[in-house]
A and B are shown apart, each in its own frame.
Chain A
Amino acid sequence: MVKLSQNDLVILLVAISIMLIFSRIASELGKRVGMPMVMGELIVGVALGPTIFGTITPHAYTTLFPFTENAHFSLALDAILSLSVILLLFITGLELRFSLFLRHGKTALSTGLGSMALPFGSAFILAWFFPHWFFEVKDGPTHLLFSLFLGTAMSISALPVIARILLDMKLLKTEIGAVIIASAVFNDVVGWISFSFILSLVNKNTGGGSVLQNLVFIAVFAIFMLVVGRFVLNRSLPWIQTKLSWPGGVLAFSLSLCLLCAAFTEFIHIHAILGAFIAGLAIGDSVYFREEAREIMHQFVTNFFAPLFFVSIGLKVNFIEHFDPLVVMIVLLLAFGGKVIGAGIGARLGGMSSRRSLAVGFGLNARGAMEMILGSLAYDAGLINQAVFVALIIMALVTSITSAPLMRFFLDEKN
C-alpha cells in the first residue's frame, strides 16, 4: 500500500488546519456584517490561492499547497474534497422533500416550473447560438453539453442560502416562504439529476454508456431508491434509532448508505454526487429520521467538509487573471433575468400579487453554495473554462448577497 510520507502528511494536515481556521475566522467576521458563511470561505480560498497568496509569495504557496510538485498531497486532498462534495450533496438531499412541493399545489408547481424553464431555456439558447461569448467552439465536441450545463446552472437554486434568508426575514413559516422552499426543492431535485446526467455524458469518452442507457440508469436508480429504498428505510430506521447506540448507529448507517449509493452511481459512470443526493432524499424523507440526527449530520458536514470544499474553489484558479467582465456580465444578466422573470411569472400565474411574485423571484435567485459546487464539478470535468468558472462563482455570490435586500424591498408595503 502506498503511504503518505511523514512530510506529506505534515503538509496535508497543516494545509487543512489553515483552511479550517481561516474560513472559520472569515465566517465569524462575515456573520457580523450579514455575509453568508460560504462567502467568507470563498474569500479565504481566493486569499490563500494563486490569486493573492500565490502571487505575493509563490514559494510559500507551493510549500503549503504543493499541487503540482507533490502528487501524493494532491491525491490525498482530492480524495478529501471528493468526499466533501459527496457529503454536501447528501445533506442537501436530506433537506429536500418532494412532498413539500406536492403540498403547496398549483402555486409551487407554476413557480417551480417557471423558475426552471425560463432560466434553462434562455441560457441554453444563448450558449447554443453564441458559444464564442463563452470561448466555446460552435459544433465543437462540448458545444451541446456546455449549452445544457449553462441552462442547468442557471436554473438551480440554493436551498441552504434561501432557508437562511427566509429564517432571518422571519418568512420561513409563512405562505411565501413555503412557496419559495417548495419551488427550490423542485429546482434542486430536477437540477441535480439533470446535472448528473450531463456529467455522465462527459464520462462517455471514458467508458460511460449511451445517452439512453444513462437516462435509464438514472431513472431506475432514482425510482428504486425513492420507492423501494424508502420503504425499507421506513422499516429499518425506527429499529436502528432505538436498538443501536445513539447517535452513532444512525450516523454510521446513513453515511454508509450515502457512500454506497455514491459508489454505485460512480461505478455505472454517472457521477457519485447523484448517488449521495438520492440517498439523502430517501433518508431525509423518512418520518422516522430524527431531527437531532439531521442536525448532527448538518453540523458535521457544514463545519468540516464544507469549508474545505469552498476554500478549495479559491485554490483552483487565479480569480483576477481569469476575470472576464463580459462573461461575468452575461452570466449575471442570464441569472437574474431568467430566474426572477421565470419564477415571478410562475408565482403570478399561481395567484400571487405582482410584488410578492417578484419577491419570490428574488428569493429563488440565491444560488450560493449549490452553484459553486456545480461550477466546481463542471470545471473539474473539463466542461467549462476558467473564465466561465470565475463568472459562475461571482454570480453565486452576487445573487446570494442581493437576494435578501431585494426580497425585503418588494415585500415592504411602503415601497
Chain B
Amino acid sequence: MDHCQLKGRPPFPFETIALVVTFSVSLSPLLSEAKHLADAFKAQLILISIDEQTPDRQTRLHQTCQKTGIGKEVRVIWPGGDPIVSLLGICKENMIDLLVLGALRRETALRYYLGSVARGLSRRAKCSLLLMTEPKIGGSTFGRIVTDCVDHRKTIPTLNTSFYFARLTGCHEMHIVKQVDQTGLAMAMSGDSTTGEQSAVKTQLFNDAEDAIREAIGHCQAGDIEVVKTVLLGRPGFMIRKYAEDCRANLLVINSPDSRYGLIDRIFPHDMEYILKQLPCNVLIVHSRFTNDT
C-alpha cells in the first residue's frame, strides 16, 4: 500500500467504510447502520473486530451479518493487540474514508479520563470518524445536521463533506454554527466603555461571525438543503454541544483536531473535548488530509 496516496486525499466521497465490531447488544444495530451507510454512499464495507477471535464470535458475527443483509464478500479483519493502534494501522493500510463506531453518550468519569476506544480514536484518527450513539436496525435518519464553522482551513472541506453526507442520507435541514468565544471581552470593556460601545462591540462580533458563515457557505455546494445560519456566543465546543442537544440534531459534524489530545486536555477541556465528554447525538469528525502545497 502506497501511503503517499493518503496525503491530500479529499475527505469525501466515502469509497471505503469500515465498522468497528464489538460483541455487545449494539452489534446488530451497528451492522445495520454500516450496511445502510455503505449502500447510501455506494462504498465498500469492511468489518474490523477489536475483540479476540473465537469460533463462537465468528459464528455470531456471520449470523448477524446474514440477518442484516451483509453479504459474504464483506471482508472481516481480526487484528488483535491494542485496539486503537491496530485500528489506526488498518485504516491507513486500507485507505478507509469513514470509520464507524458505536459510542456511549456519556462515559463514567474514570473511563472518560482513562479513555475508551471510541474517544481515543476521535483524538487520534487519521480518517473521518462517525460515532453512533443510538444505532438503529434499519439505519438512522439524519434529517437535521449541525456543522461547526470554526475559523480553520479544515472547515471548508468539513462543510463540503457535511453537505455530501446530507445529500446522500436525506437530510432536510443543515445548521451551520459559528461559535464566538468572548474571552477577555468582559475584562477589556469593564472599565471605560459606555453601554453603547459595549453593545456595538458585541453586535460587530455577531455580524463578523455571520459574514464568516456566509463566506464559508459560498465555497460549498449546498444544493436543495435548507441552511440555517447560527451564531453562538460562549465557550467553543460546549456551546455547539448544547445547541445540538437543544435543536435535537441527528448528527453533529466537526473538524478533526490538529494535534493529539491528551489527559491534560481532558482535565482542562476545550473544543472537541466538551463534545466527547457528553455526545449530544451522532458525531461525525471529518479528517481533512492536507499536503504541504494545500
Contact segment of B13-21, B71-79, B233-241: B233-241
Q: What is the distance, in angstroms, from A38's C-beta to the closest C-beta of chain B?
A: 8
Does B108 lie at the interface of the complex (its beta carbon under 8 Å from any beta carbon of A)?
Answer: no
Does A167 lie at the interface of the complex (its beta carbon under 8 Å from any beta carbon of B)?
Answer: yes
Rounded to whole angstroms, the CA-CA distance of A181 and B187 in the bound complex is 12
Closest to B182 in A: A291
Does A354 lie at the interface of the complex (its beta carbon under 8 Å from any beta carbon of B)?
Answer: no
A167 and B188 contacting across the interface, CB-CB below 8 Å:
yes
B185 and A167 contacting across the interface, CB-CB below 8 Å:
yes
CB neighbours of B181 from chain A (8 A):
173
Q: Please tell me which one of the listed residues A102, A166, A287 contacts residue B184 in the complex, with CB atoms under 8 A apart.
A: A166
B192 and A159 contacting across the interface, CB-CB below 8 Å:
no
Q: What is the distance, in angstroms, from B114's C-beta to the closest C-beta of chain A?
A: 15
Closest to B264 in A: A102
A31 and B192 contacting across the interface, CB-CB below 8 Å:
yes
Chain B: residues with Cβ within 8 Å of the partner, total of: 31
CB neighbours of B271 from chain A (8 A):
103
Q: Please tell me which one of the listed residues A102, A226, A294 contacts residue B265 in the complex, with CB atoms under 8 A apart.
A: A102
Q: Please tell me which one of the listed residues A31, A162, A226, A295 contacts residue B186 in the complex, with CB atoms under 8 A apart.
A: A295
Q: What is the distance, in angstroms, from B31's C-beta to the closest C-beta of chain A?
A: 36
Q: Please tell me which one of the listed residues B191, B208, B238, B269 contacts residue A27 in the complex, with CB atoms under 8 A apart.
A: B191
Chain B 176-206 near chain A by CB (<8 Å), digits 1 or 0 = 0000111111111111100000000100010
Contacts A37-B192, A299-B190, A302-B191 given; does A99 touch B185 at CB 8 Å: no
Does A70 lie at the interface of the complex (its beta carbon under 8 Å from any beta carbon of B)?
Answer: no
Interface size class of A (residues with CB under 8 A): 35 or more
A172 and B184 contacting across the interface, CB-CB below 8 Å:
yes
Most buried by B among A37, A102, A106: A102
Chain B 267-280 near chain A by CB (<8 Å), digits 1 or 0 = 11111001000000
Q: What is the distance, in angstroms, from A43's C-beta to the closest C-beta of chain B?
A: 14
30 A-B pairs with C-beta separation under 8 A: A28-B192, A95-B183, A95-B184, A100-B270, A102-B265, A102-B270, A105-B259, A106-B259, A159-B184, A159-B187, A160-B191, A163-B185, A163-B187, A164-B187, A164-B188, A167-B189, A172-B188, A173-B181, A175-B151, A181-B184, A226-B267, A226-B268, A285-B268, A287-B234, A287-B235, A287-B274, A291-B186, A302-B190, A303-B191, A306-B191
A287-B274, A302-B191 known; 4 new pairs, CB 8 Å cut-off, are A95-B183, A160-B188, A164-B188, A298-B187
Residues of B within 8 A of A (CB): 151, 180-192, 201, 205, 208, 233-235, 238, 258-259, 264-265, 267-271, 274
Residues of A within 8 A of B (CB): 27-28, 31, 37, 91, 95, 97-100, 102-103, 105-106, 159-160, 162-164, 166-167, 172-173, 175, 181, 226-227, 285, 287, 291, 294-295, 298-299, 301-303, 306
- 7 pairs of A and B residues whose beta carbons are closest in the complex: A163-B184, A298-B190, A99-B270, A163-B188, A302-B190, A37-B191, A99-B268
